[in-house]
Structure 1
């Protein structure tokens, strides 16, 4: 009977022993609200963050997390640090809002409201919240940079933040043509910069064009310092059909750099307009970009399978190819391989319904001084396989 009682105690205690480490990790998760364990199966999108295991644990080149604490990374920039380079860097995005009339806004608020933290958003308010988070992340990681928003002159929205400029550019900003218009807006902006440079000599001013649903988590100005010979930079991934992502394009701010980048984007636009108009709502620009690069017979597409930066001349434009894993990292959504977050990640791209994660991440970072960029990255990593409601 004593032996039997000992076995009973062992059976009872074993689950507790194995559960204790998990219990301590879970205590960290109470820093944010509305969290539940990742379900084994889910077909519906969630209206709150769902945390699961942090992928990449045990891999030396991946972020290691214990709950919501990063174990091997401190990513918050030193606000007093002055970079070795002196050139100015501006982040540029295309953004517009729809349903700007009073009646449309009232109808917008009454339909499809979503709540993040303690705030409820209509569709338009949701877009503005994402834009504000985009600006906030940049101002934390690159406090000396400027932010330029290219928009439809008819679009009505206000941004009351320092170092932010709204630049109206005429064009077709309908949802079906927005990706096409984005390239046109980039070209128009670069053309205007060339005219300004021809009129007066200015300090070199670099530009990084991005989607507005990204979080910059490190200083991107180093790209221009570390790679001094490129005119234009894009990000690539190991994807046969869509190896290039247009959500991140860096342009060197010299007259030659701006001119070469403008000519390159004009070629992308020509390919887009002639071959991929059926994909004008989404992906057309990426398909056109890939076609233009691959059309050079000497270009080896196998280089996209290796996660190393490289330079290549495309029609006289020196193009720097940067790995998406670092400069355009996207949390996987749903099933699929997930190898964790690279230690040197600099940009997190919240595509599609991951935008809830973007707002939740900013709220978490902004919740306390101890949250920090590194711990916020653990939050993103742990919630990266779930589909959310927007």
Structure 2
């Protein structure tokens, strides 16, 4: 079975790449070990973050570093046995998080972010999945005036630099918008230009069905069986193509290493659990409790509680201690009822030390392309990445300057 391109990885990024290539007349095979959207793309907060022009930085102030070192913070936990192995990555991440360097990164990163909502809406419309997108924005809520004021200054900075829209809600207005939240909250910031998704897995599945309707083929297979040619073993037999796109998320380093690339990739792990709301309580927006490091999002299955960051090796045993730590706090923010999942879901965010994804051609192989390393913004940047890769592969004028995201920077 021969194709023009094999896309390895059927998360939001890989599916989006496959869709855009198939739309441009390429015959595309999409390969993963599971059906589309059932790994990292399955369990996120469901945000398409138009405001996310500054990627999440490593803390640099001494107070925060000392707090995290105690390994009891609700927003960041770590495995002690992983720190030595990931220390080189963390050091580079820390260096790139310096205010001056972070601002430089944001100038490039914002060129991707500015298209995230429009590209998702276009693909969702084509896929008949627009109902899964909610154009309602999302909110940060505050338990103290000091944090509220500090975050408002950040929002003002983003607005000045990149035109990011925000709305400041005082306590009274917040209660009008979200009457079932804790009445002691000091206010909120709402980012109205962002969308949210009621079921991220359903959205990726809808995009994959659209890919199939365009004539694409999905295969269950082993990406690491890739051999020069390019050939991959699948349950339906061996498939071959003249080009390949690596979009394996947190597992991308396995294949890139196999191909001879030493890329500085690491993972940030996270957990989620669904809850039934108590009585007639209703949550209208995704809500981030920024002082306690968790987010509540209304989902098709219930209220999803997502945790912050766990620094650990990708395949280390699950340790959902963050979820246990923040659940009682989340119950004071919103009246959560019983748990709806048998166990906590765990996902892995694929990260680079400069906080930007790797998008573009592999330097050692003419017909290999990379599309991974999106960290917290995989869902946000899936369709943007898909369009950018497809335009580069087909020789079109790219709608975004792809040079800042090249693998050549490492």
Q: TM-score, normalised by structure 1?
A: 0.29
Using CA pairs below 8 Å that are at least 6 residues apart, which structure has the higher relative contact order?
A: 2
Indicate the structure (1 or 2) with the bigger Cα radius of gyration.
1
